[in-house]
Chains A and B, each alone.
Chain A
Amino acid sequence: MSTPTTPQPSGQPEERLENAIELQDVAGLSQGQIVRRRFFRHKGAMVGLAVLALTALLALTSVGVGPVPGWWQWTPGQTGAVVNPGGSPTLSMPTWLGGEGFAIGDHPFGQDEIGRDIFARVMAGVQTSLMVMVIIGGVAAIIGVAVGATAGFFRGRTDTLLMRATDLVITVPTIVIGAVVGKMAGTVSGVVFALALGLILWTTLARLVRGEFLSLREREFVDAARVAGAGNMRIIFKHILPNAIGTLIVAVTLLMSSAILLETALSYLGFGIVPPEISLGQLINEYQQAFSTRPWLFWWPGLFIVIIALTINFIGDGLRDAFDPRQKRIPSERKMAKAAAADDAAARARVPSVRPDAGVGGGA
Chain B
Amino acid sequence: MLNFLLRRLAAGLVTLFVALFLMYLLVEASIDPLADLIESTAPNKAELIAQRTEQLNLDVNPVIRFFWWLGALFTGDLGVAWKSGQAVSAQLTNAIGSTIELVSAATVLSLLVGVAVGIVSALRQYSAFDYVIIFFSFLLYSLPSFWVAVLLKQWGAIGFNDFLRDPLIAWPVIIGLSLVVGLLWSLAIGGTATRRVQVFAIAAAANLALLAYVQLTGWWERPQIGPVLLALLGAGTAFAVAGVFAGLHNRRALYTGMTVVAIGVVAYFPMQVLFDQVTESHWLTAGLALVTVAVGYGVGRLFGGPDWRLSARTGAAVALVMGTLIFVDQVMQVWGPYFDALGGRPIPTFGDRTPNLGGNYWVQVLDSYTHLILPTATLVLIAFASYTRYARSSMLEVMNQDYVRTARAKGLPERLVIVRHGFRNALIPLATIVPIDVITLIGGAVITENVFGRPGMGQLFVRSLEQAEIEPVMAYLLVVAALAIIANIVADLVYAAIDPRIRLDA
Chain A residues with a Cβ under 8 A of chain B: 1, 164, 167-168, 170-177, 179-181, 183-184, 257, 261, 264-265, 268-271, 281, 284-285, 288, 291-292, 298, 302, 305-306, 309-310, 313-314, 317, 330, 332, 357, 359-364
Contact = CB atoms under 8 A, between A and B. Distances in A.
B92 to A, nearest CB: 15
Ranked nearest first, the 5 interchain pairs of A and B with the lowest CB-CB distance are A173-B443, A309-B142, A184-B30, A302-B147, A310-B142
A175 B444 CA distance: 8
B467 to A, nearest CB: 12
B405 interface: yes
Contact of A172 (B127, B417, B481): B481
Contacts of A285: 146
Given A171-B19, A310-B139, A176 B443 contact: yes
A192 B108 CA distance: 39
A363 B123 contact: yes
Contact of A180 (B27, B139, B158): B27
A179 B446 CA distance: 10
B126 A357 contact: yes
Nearest to B400: A360
A244 B368 CA distance: 50
B309 interface: no
B179 interface: no
B373 interface: no
A281 B144 contact: yes
Given A177-B23, A361-B124, 5 more contacts: A164-B15, A176-B461, A302-B147, A306-B143, A330-B126
Interface in B99-145: 123-127, 134, 138-139, 141-145
Given A361-B127, A363-B123, A257 B142 contact: yes
Given A172-B23, A184-B29, A268-B447, A302 B442 contact: no
23 contacts: A168-B18, A172-B23, A172-B480, A173-B440, A173-B442, A173-B446, A181-B26, A183-B465, A184-B26, A261-B145, A268-B146, A269-B446, A284-B146, A302-B147, A306-B142, A310-B139, A314-B138, A332-B126, A357-B126, A361-B123, A361-B124, A363-B123, A363-B414
Nearest to B436: A170
B144 A261 contact: yes
A85 B29 CA distance: 46
B22 interface: yes
B480 A317 contact: no
Contacts of A332: 126
Contacts of A1: 134
Interface in B460-477: 461-462, 465-466, 473, 476-477
A316 B87 CA distance: 47
A362 B129 CA distance: 12
Interface in B428-487: 439-440, 442-444, 446-447, 450, 461-462, 465-466, 473, 476-477, 480-481, 484-485
Contact of A174 (B127, B151, B443, B466): B443
A40 B418 CA distance: 35
B181 interface: no
B400 A176 contact: no
B481 A364 contact: no
B138 A317 contact: yes
B23 A269 contact: no
Contacts of B150: 284, 288, 291, 298
A176 B439 CA distance: 11
Contacts of A168: 15, 18-19, 22
B408 interface: yes
B415 interface: yes
A175 B488 CA distance: 19
B477 A179 contact: no
A302 B144 contact: yes
Among B30, B417, B466: residue with most chain A CB under 10 A:
B30
Nearest to B155: A291
A306 B30 CA distance: 30
Nearest to A359: B408
Contacts, number: 141
B126 A179 contact: no
Contact of A291 (B146, B154, B465): B154
A196 to B, nearest CB: 10
B142 A171 contact: no
A313 B141 contact: yes
A175 B450 CA distance: 13
Nearest to A261: B144
A173 B418 contact: no
Contacts of B145: 261, 265
Interface in B378-405: 399-400, 405
A179 B443 CA distance: 11
B476 to A, nearest CB: 8
Contact of A173 (B29, B405, B439): B439
A271 B31 CA distance: 11
A306 B31 contact: no
Contacts of B440: 173
Nearest to B483: A171
Contacts of B447: 175, 265, 268-269
Contacts of A357: 125-126
Nearest to B461: A176
Contacts of A177: 23, 26
Contacts of A314: 138
Given A281-B144, A306-B143, A360-B399, A171 B16 contact: yes
Contact of A176 (B31, B450, B477): B477
B472 to A, nearest CB: 13
Residue of B126, B415, B481, B488 ringed by the most chain A CB atoms within 10 A: B126
B270 to A, nearest CB: 42
B125 A265 contact: no
B405 A270 contact: no
A164 B144 CA distance: 31
B465 A179 contact: yes
B190 interface: yes
Interface in B14-71: 15-16, 18-19, 22-23, 26-27, 29-31
B344 interface: no
A261 B446 CA distance: 14
A364 B417 CA distance: 10
Nearest to B439: A173
B97 interface: no
B488 to A, nearest CB: 8
Contacts of B191: 364
Nearest to A307: B142
